[in-house]
Amino acid sequence: MPAPVVVFAVGNRSRGDDALGPMLLDRLAAVLAAEGRGSRFELIDDFQLQIEHALDLAGRERALFIDAGTGTSAPFSYHAIEPASSVATHSTHALPPEAVLAVYRKLTGCEPPPAFVLCVRGESFELGANLTPAATANLEAAWTHLMQLCREPEFTD
């Protein structure tokens, strides 16, 4: 049986604030291991979302997508998402979370699990750069929110 909760963190650790998602995932992994709750969560870290991530949604009760965003309000946004009406893109290079849900629906004929996006505002995505000061602050705010989320009944029961 897959873990009830799947958490995707998307980003490139080598590109400044793009590392926000993977960094949050690292912290989460450490806390879950320390608290002995790792079996309820599967944590997936990747450059970008792709069609096969739809397969990682099977059998889940909840899905959470963590990513850096440039258009989101600071320090972060958190919202439920629904399957996109189309997965159309000009390129095969990446899918937004809503499209991953749509791929799941297309492949299985079933509705995906309730899914949410935690989008942390990033400012700079330069190759080789560290987190910006603003993103570091946003990371802390998002981490507090993520910890609250992971203690809610939907994530713990």
Partner 1 sequence: MTFQLETAAHPEKLRRVAIDPVSRVEGHGKVTLLLDENGRVHQARLHIVEFRGFEKFIQGRPYWEVPVMVQRLCGICPVSHNIAASKAFDAIVGATRLTPTAEKIRRLMHYGQIMQSHALHFFHLCSPDLLFGFDSDVARRNIAGVAREHPETARRGVLLRRFGQEVIRVTAGKRVHGTGAIPGGVNKAVTIEERDALLTHVYHMVAWSREAVRLVEQLHTQNPALYNSFGVFRSNMMSLVGTDGALDFYDGALRARTDSGELIFDGVDYRGYDRYIEEEVKPWSYMKFPFLTSLGKEKGWYRVGPLSRIQNCDHIPTPLAEIERRQFLDYCGGTPMHAPLAYHWARMIEMLHAVETIKDLLHDDDILGDDLVTGGPRALEGVGVIEAPRGTLIHHYRVDESDLVTMCNLIVSTTHNNQAMNEAIRNVAKRYLNGHTLTEGLLNHIEVVIRAFDPCLSCATHALGRMPLAVELVDAEGTVVGRLSTDGAATEGGAD
Site of interaction with partner 1 (CB under 8 A): 10-12, 14-15, 18, 46-52, 54-55, 67-72, 84-94, 96-97, 103, 106-107, 117, 119, 122, 125-128
Q: How far is the CB of 65 from partner 1 (least distance, A)?
A: 8
> What pairs with residue 118 in β-bridges?
66, 78
- Residue 95 is encoded by which pair of tokens? 């899918």
Alpha-carbon distance of 35 to 50, in angstroms, equals: 31
- Residue 48 is encoded by which pair of tokens? 């970008």
Question: Which lies closer to partner 1 via its Cβ, residue 59 or residue 151?
Answer: 59
Question: Which lies closer to partner 1 via its Cβ, residue 35 or residue 82?
Answer: 82
Q: How far is the CB of 157 from partner 1 (least distance, A)?
A: 28
What residues contact residue 154 under an 8 Å CB cut-off, 6+ apart? 61, 62, 114
- Residue 23 is encoded by which pair of tokens? 């960094």
DSSP 129-152: ----HHHHHHHHHHHHHHHHHTTS
Question: Which lies closer to partner 1 via its Cβ, residue 15 or residue 40?
Answer: 15
Q: How far is the CB of 19 from partner 1 (least distance, A)?
A: 10
Question: Which lies closer to partner 1 via its Cβ, residue 1 or residue 88?
Answer: 88
> What pairs with residue 5 in β-bridges?
41, 62
Q: How far is the CB of 123 from partner 1 (least distance, A)?
A: 10
Q: How far is the CB of 95 from partner 1 (least distance, A)?
A: 8
Alpha-carbon distance of 20 to 138, in angstroms, equals: 9
Q: How far is CA 91 from the centre of its chain?
A: 21
Question: Which lies closer to partner 1 via its Cβ, residue 34 or residue 127?
Answer: 127
